[in-house]
Amino acid sequence: MGYYQRSLEILEEINNIKGMTKAYNNMGIIYKNQGNEKKALEYYHKCLKISEEIGDKKAIAKAYSNIGNIFRGQGNHKQALEYYRKSFKLDEILGDKRGMANTLINIGNIYADSSKGDTALSYYKRALEIYEEISDKRGKAACYGNIGSIFKKQGDPEQALIYYQQGLKIFVETGNRRGMAVSYNHIGNLYFIKEDYSEALKYGNQAMDMATEVGGVLEIGSAAHLLHKVFLINDQPSKALEMYKLYVEMRDSIYSQENKEASIKLDYQHAYEKEQALAEAKHQEQMALSAEREKRQKLIAYATGGGLLIVFLFAIFIFNRLRITRMQKKIIEAQKEIVEAQKKDITDSIQYAENIQQALLPSAEELSLIPDGFVLFKPKDIVSGDFYWMQHFNDRIYIAVCDCTGHGVPGAFMSMIGSSLLDEAVVEKGITKPNEIFYDVRKGFIEALKQTGDAGQQKDGMDGVLIAWDKKITLEIATAFNPAFFIRNGEIWEIKADRQPVGFLTGEQKEFTHHEFTVQRGDTLYLFSDGFHDQFGGPKEKKFMMKNFKNLLLSIQDKIMNEQKVILEDTLLEWKGDLEQVDDILVMGMRF
């Protein structure tokens, strides 16, 4: 949260009101994910207050919806409905059909929670009509799943199966593996209810395979619970027990964090007591040996006389050395524990910074405005200097793929500044041309980082590609040290990069080149940072190179965009082998 507070200070310093509302909203989301609903509500209200002051109705609607989610989580359905209806009314005024449909689903969920299935069903069907009107496959699949669950609760498995299968079909078409896992599990449970245990087993195994592939704890637990029931019916007790243990493990990892922490504490306590017992036994053994040695020394003393003094002094010397060695060992172990604790604190902070950076990236809802596309994003470290940005403003879609100076925490901090400055240029200042937006962002970097060009001063900034699309046929592009690829009918055009960054440049600050295209149906555009083609690998451990990257993109043009992403990931993994990833990797593809 400290990183986010610093980001908020910068936004306030440059008076980016729009950015401040997004920051408050995202901080509320983080607090909600932490379970601190009181704090989440506080930041949602801060977002709401500023949004109302500047008259940003879209942000007000989103704040209403988020506050409604808090009240729903607390079981306060009356308050939740009040905020959801406020959100719906604003979305209706704005003509935001996707927002209206999302809110209808939220209202339907309230009635489903209250066991009012028919009322919930009417809201889900209204949402479904809107999603069909705007061709939102993701929304349709969610509606089908919710409607299926209502029919299941009402004791109509045949109708439920029809809707679950419709949702599954969309998830398969769009490559949504988590959605496929959920759908397989729903269908398997329906067959279990119908006592068709062979089909229940089939879909249960498919659900488990898909859930394991995506690493979904909730989905793995649901699949394990279904398979546990099937194996019991099929008189396979060992497999049933195995699935039940997995179900309990997944359930506890989600709902029993306190029990989990208590278990870990007991494990540590047990290990500590065991070490203490071993130490005590060793001490007793040493004491016994010491007594025996002392006895022998007395016998030797009677026999050798003067030799006693030498043996005694030597024993004292050894004892002191042993005592010093033990003390040094304890000091080293204590210092090791301190270093490990500090390392854990640093790692936890960086992982938390990852949550903040993820919150700043475009949501799945925002990315759905692109007709067909994918994002391949692989940070080198936990957080990244590469980032992608999107803004839908005045019926134009703006998208940027940027590579900030450095990677890790410094690069991530630069990416927050870059994202904020892009928002300011488009939303606050109303700049529409990508080359002019980049020019304004460059000035913002120079002012925010107080760059003067003095000797020894860092020239931080970012490289990137920025596009503006009117959602019809006109596409405008600006580039800064990174090119873009445009493919039509099997031919590829490289949109050359301007040899200057979006940041301080020694000498005259030149304008960026304006590129404009008329797009046709089926045209494909790729935006990317330098991470993919600069990755070392292959039999000679050399860079992948831009030429090979370009040929790879041409070779997969007959594939849908989700399949292209999988091929790019597999190619990168095979090329890299056991070598270290050298930089953040970001590739974004879209088909018009």
88, part of any domain: no
Which of 323, 356, 389 is a domain's end point?
Answer: 356
Q: Rounded to the nearest 5 degrees, what angle is found at the Cα of 255, between the Cα atoms of 252 and 260?
A: 50
Task: Based on the fold, state whether residues 424 and 516 are members of the same structural domain.
Answer: yes
Cα distance between residue 254 and residue 79, in whole Å: 27
Residue 15 is predicted with a pLDDT of 78
Q: Which domain holds residue 204?
A: 176-255
Check residue 208 and give its pLDDT.
94
Q: Does the pLDDT value for residue 286 go beyond 70?
A: no
156 domain residue, yes or no: no
Let me know whether 569 and 463 are in one domain.
yes
Averaged pLDDT score across all residues of the chain: 85
- Is 108 within a domain? no
pLDDT-based confidence at 351, cuts 50/70/90?
low
Please check whether residues 329 and 187 belong to one and the same domain.
no
Band (pLDDT 50/70/90 cuts) for residue 292 is confident
Total structural domains in the chain?
A: 3
As a residue count, the chain comes to: 592
CA 395 – CA 95 distance, rounded (Å): 12
Q: Which of 210, 229, 255 is the last residue of a domain?
A: 255
Contact 483, 496 (CB under 8 A): yes
Tell me the pairing of strands 515-518 and 461-469: unpaired
Let me know if residue 171 belongs to a domain. Answer: no
- Paired tokens of 169: 């079909």
The whole-number pLDDT of residue 527 equals 97
Whether 306 and 441 share a structural domain: no
Report whether pLDDT(300) > 70.
no
Q: What share of the chain has pLDDT > 90, as a percent? A: 50
The pLDDT of residue 138: 87
Domain end (from 356, 380, 404): 356
> Residue 330 — pLDDT band, cuts 50, 70, 90?
confident
Compute the distance between CA of residue 444 and CA of residue 421 in angstroms, rounded to an integer: 6
- Give the pLDDT score at 253: 61
Is the same domain home to 456 and 583? yes
Main-chain dihedrals φ then ψ at residue 484, nearest 5 degrees: -135, 155
pLDDT exceeds cutoff 60 at 553: yes
As a whole number, mean pLDDT of residues 303-322 equals 72
Q: Which two tokens stand for residue 550?
A: 């370009």
pLDDT at 536 exceeding the cut of 90: yes
Q: Are residues 324 and 244 in the same domain?
A: no
The predicted model gives 77-86 an average pLDDT of 92
pLDDT of residue 261: 38
The angle at the Cα of 477, spanning 586 to 562, to the nearest 5 degrees, equals 40
**Model pLDDT, residue 346:** 61
Give the model's pLDDT for residue 266.
29
* H-type alpha helices, 37-156: 37-54, 57-73, 77-94, 97-113, 117-133, 137-153
CATH of residue 536:
3.60.40.10
Task: State the pLDDT at residue 70.
Answer: 86
* Average pLDDT for 90-118: 91
Task: Find the mean pLDDT for residues 137-160.
Answer: 90
Say if residues 537 and 554 touch (Cβ distance below 8 Å).
no
In this structure, is residue 91 part of a structural domain? Answer: no
Please check whether residue 367 lies inside any domain of the structure: yes
Residues 444 and 520 in one domain: yes
Higher-pLDDT residue of 351, 45: 45
Same domain, 230 and 368: no
438 and 518 both lie in a single domain = yes
The per-residue pLDDT for range 246-271, each reduced to its tens digit, is 988 887 764 444 433 332 332 333 33
Return d(Cα 532, Cα 538) in angstroms, integer.
13
Q: Whole-angstrom Cα distance, residue 206 to residue 389?
A: 35
pLDDT band at 520 (very low <50, low <70, confident <90, very high): very high
Q: 212 in a domain, yes or no? A: yes
Residue 418 has pLDDT above 60, yes or no: yes
332 and 404 together in one domain: no
Same domain, 408 and 298: no
Q: Is the domain of 456 the same as that of 420?
A: yes
Which CATH number covers residue 200?
1.25.40.10
Is 408 within a domain? yes
